[in-house]
């Protein structure tokens, strides 16, 4: 465990198996230095346990970074359930997951994610108070992640392209799911010209019909002559193959862990492409959780997500002034906040 390539001094990693209901889950709490570890529960038929462990270690770390860069009093956590949500998800399994979270006594707060829903959280809530979306208002469907990406994208186009407004801006959106599709909606409403790709032809057809988007083949999206590339499908898509092909000036999207390796941040910069750190652009969900405990009305939640735009503007201005990449600056800010929150070691 401690030598796993994605182990990053995670505070707690728990493996749980409940034979009676078929639960096989891993909970990773990356950091509680700034507050309880918040993050979604992903249910997915991972091909093996190592794939599940890698996912939970990376994603929980990402949650710490999202919360810290947005200056929230929250840490980072994540959980994965190994299984097919369509086949294996039962009330008994969700209850067992709820008991697992209850046993962590608030070190981890569970939210919905790929393969789990707000209804699933309601089942878990019978076992634990440490869930997101506990109030009726907080259960209203809001595209907070897409809205946050929009805020980051607007700030980035202002900073890099000197634009006010998005009318006529050419944006390529990769992936038309829970993040990509509403992002297309926001962009189209502001007059942006969309190019889209998805492996699901039905979603592509919907984006063409609803937003006048131009559709391209899945692999052709990297070659499009656009100003912004918005990855909203999966991680590691900024790599040796894609980066030389990109024609965008800005990369800003909702996918987690977009860089295949840290070195790819420098490769983007060397090509003059400004990369908005993924964990900043896609932090809408954690801001939503924080805000729902203060004022859970939709306007208040979306208003809170606006901070992603202000933080992006600040980071890009500092990047331009210093010659450092935005990611170098956000990583440093997160590390500094975490270090400042930890009690000083006792004197020798
Ligand atoms: P989703 O499963 O709803 O959508 C993903 C979409 O990508 C699907 O439409 C899928 O068909 C498409 N896709 C798959 N392979 C593709 C390919 N090769 N080319 C183009 N499209 C492809 O997932 P989502 O919730 O929209 O999440 C997308 C990304 O954003 C993930 O990396 C996720 O971790 C991240 N993210 C999501 C949220 C959220 O609130 N949903 C929050 C933060 C980060």
What would the 3-class secondary structure string for 79-137 be?
Answer: EEEECCHHHHCCHHHHHHHHHHHHCCCCCEEEECCCCCCHHHHHHHCCCCCCECCCCCH
Residues 328 and 334: their CA atoms lie apart, in Å, by: 10
Residue nearest to atom 4 of ligand 1 (CA): 177
Residues 214 and 207: their CA atoms lie apart, in Å, by: 8
Indicate the top mutation candidate among 42, 178, 194, 253 to test ligand 1's pocket, ranked by most ligand atoms within 8 A of CB: 178
**23-31 and 75-82 as β-strands: parallel, antiparallel, unpaired?**
antiparallel
78 is catalytic: yes
The C-alpha torsion from 310 through 314 and 317 to 322, rounded to 10°, is -160
What spacing in Å lies between the alpha carbon of 52 and ligand 1's midpoint?
A: 17
Residue nearest to atom 1 of ligand 1 (CA): 177
What spacing in Å lies between the alpha carbon of 301 and ligand 1's midpoint?
A: 22
Indicate the top mutation candidate among 78, 175, 232, 289 to test ligand 1's pocket, ranked by most ligand atoms within 8 A of CB: 175
144-331 classified as CATH 3.40.50.720: yes
Pocket of ligand 1 (CB under 6 A): 114, 145, 174-180, 197-200, 203, 218, 232-235, 254-256, 282, 285
Residue nearest to atom 9 of ligand 1 (CA): 177
Q: Where in the chain is the domain with CATH 3.40.50.10860?
A: 12-132
| Catalytic-labelled residue, pool 66, 78, 89, 193 | 78
Residue nearest to atom 40 of ligand 1 (CA): 145
What spacing in Å lies between the alpha carbon of 233 and ligand 1's midpoint?
A: 4
Per-residue pLDDT of the chain (348 residues; tens, 9 = 90+): 899 999 999 999 999 999 999 999 999 999 999 999 999 999 999 999 999 999 999 999 999 999 999 999 999 999 999 999 999 999 999 999 999 999 999 999 999 999 999 999 999 999 999 999 888 877 877 899 999 999 999 999 999 999 999 999 999 999 999 999 999 999 999 999 999 999 999 999 999 999 999 999 999 999 999 999 999 999 999 999 999 999 999 999 999 999 999 999 999 999 999 999 999 999 999 999 999 999 999 999 999 999 999 999 999 999 999 999 999 999 999 999 999 997 777 777
Ligand 1 atom closest to 254 (CA): 30
Q: Which residue, among 279, 268, 280, 286, has the nearest Cα to 325 in the 3D structure?
A: 268
Q: What is the pTM of this model?
A: 0.96
12-132 classified as CATH 3.40.50.10860: yes
């Amino acid at each position: 465990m401690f030598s796993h390539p994605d182990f990053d001094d995670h505070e707690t990693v728990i493996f749980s198996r409940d034979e009676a209901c078929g639960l096989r889950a891993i909970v990773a709490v990356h950091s509680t230095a700034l507050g309880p570890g918040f993050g979604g529960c992903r249910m997915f038929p991972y091909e093996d346990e190592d794939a599940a462990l890698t996912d939970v270690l990376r994603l929980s770390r990402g949650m710490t970074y999202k919360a810290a860069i947005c200056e929230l009093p929250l840490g980072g956590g994540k959980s994965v359930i190994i299984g097919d949500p369509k086949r294996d998800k039962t009330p008994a399994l969700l209850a067992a997951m709820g008991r697992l979270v209850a046993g962590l006594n608030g070190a981890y707060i569970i939210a919905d994610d790929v393969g789990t829903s707000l209804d699933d959280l309601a089942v878990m809530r019978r076992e634990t108070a440490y869930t997101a979306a506990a109030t009726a208002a907080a259960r209203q469907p809001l595209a907070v992640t897409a809205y946050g990406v929009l805020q980051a994208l607007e700030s980035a186009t202002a900073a890099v392209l000197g634009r006010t407004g998005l009318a006529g801006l050419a944006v390529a959106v990769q992936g038309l799911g829970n993040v990509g599709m509403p992002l297309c909606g926001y962009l189209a409403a502001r007059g942006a010209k969309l190019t889209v790709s998805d492996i699901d032809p039905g979603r592509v057809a919907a984006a063409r019909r609803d937003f006048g988007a131009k559709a391209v083949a899945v692999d052709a999206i990297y070659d499009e002559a656009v100003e912004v590339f918005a990855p909203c499908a999966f991680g590691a898509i900024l790599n040796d193959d894609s980066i030389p092909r990109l024609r965008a000036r800005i990369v800003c999207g909702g996918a987690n862990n977009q860089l295949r390796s840290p070195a790819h941040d420098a490769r983007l910069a060397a090509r003059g492409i400004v990369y908005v750190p993924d964990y900043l652009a896609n932090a809408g969900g954690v801001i939503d959780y924080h805000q729902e405990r203060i004022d859970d009305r939709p306007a208040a939640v979306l208003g809170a997500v606006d901070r992603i735009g202000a933080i992006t503007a600040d980071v890009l201005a500092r990047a331009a002034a210093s010659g450092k990449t935005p990611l170098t600056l956000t990583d440093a800010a997160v590390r500094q906040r975490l270090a400042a929150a930890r009690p000083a070691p006792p004197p020798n």
